[in-house]
């Protein structure tokens, strides 16, 4: 009885897995043509943004040469350098690829030393906190 029950459950699980694989393949095929059109339109804008971003990152790297940073702190510094108008800790974490619920806490750990070393400036406006490159 138990083996038969286990076999039935495994068959049901395989059916659901097969069904989800088929639906994801269909959605990927429909999204690709639209994405290619958008990419071709934004190539010139992306080139301009890359020039500004690389200049900001180079300035941040020069400033951080005196201070030894962990890879996490360096990644946070690079993200702040790219966003010259300021960025919140949650957005820093999201750009680094963290989950939505953990993004702010992840970034705050890296920002502490950067603020202490005067590489990043913390600005508070009401209840919003924004970090900018010095």
Query: Distances from the Cα of 86 to the Cαs of 6, 32, 96, in angstroms?
Result: 56, 33, 16
Lowest mean pLDDT among 4-13, 58-67, 102-111: 58-67
pLDDT in tens, 15-53: 655 555 555 555 555 555 555 555 665 566 666 666 666
Name the percent of the chain in helix, strand, coil, to the closest 5.
70, 10, 20
From the list 50, 61, 72, the residue with the least C-alpha distance to 119 is 61
* CATH number for the domain formed by residue range(s) 70-133: 1.10.10.10
The pair of structure tokens assigned to 89 is 């800790």
pLDDT in tens, 92-125: 999 988 898 888 999 988 898 888 888 888 998 8
Q: Which residues lie closer than 8 Å to 70 by C-beta, 6 or more apart? A: 110
């Amino acid at each position: 009885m138990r083996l038969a029950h286990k076999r039935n459950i495994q068959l049901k699980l395989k059916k659901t897995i097969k069904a989800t694989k088929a639906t994801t393949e269909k959605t990927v095929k429909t999204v690709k043509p639209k994405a290619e059109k958008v990419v071709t339109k934004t190539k010139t804008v992306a080139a301009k943004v890359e020039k500004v971003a690389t200049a900001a990152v180079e300035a941040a790297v020069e400033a951080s040469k005196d201070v030894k940073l962990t890879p996490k702190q360096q990644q946070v510094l690079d993200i702040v350098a790219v966003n010259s108008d300021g960025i919140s800790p949650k957005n820093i974490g999201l750009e680094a690829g963290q989950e939505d619920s953990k993004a702010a806490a992840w970034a705050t750990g890296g920002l502490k030393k950067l603020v202490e070393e005067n590489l990043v400036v913390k600005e508070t406006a009401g209840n919003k906190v924004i970090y900018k490159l010095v």
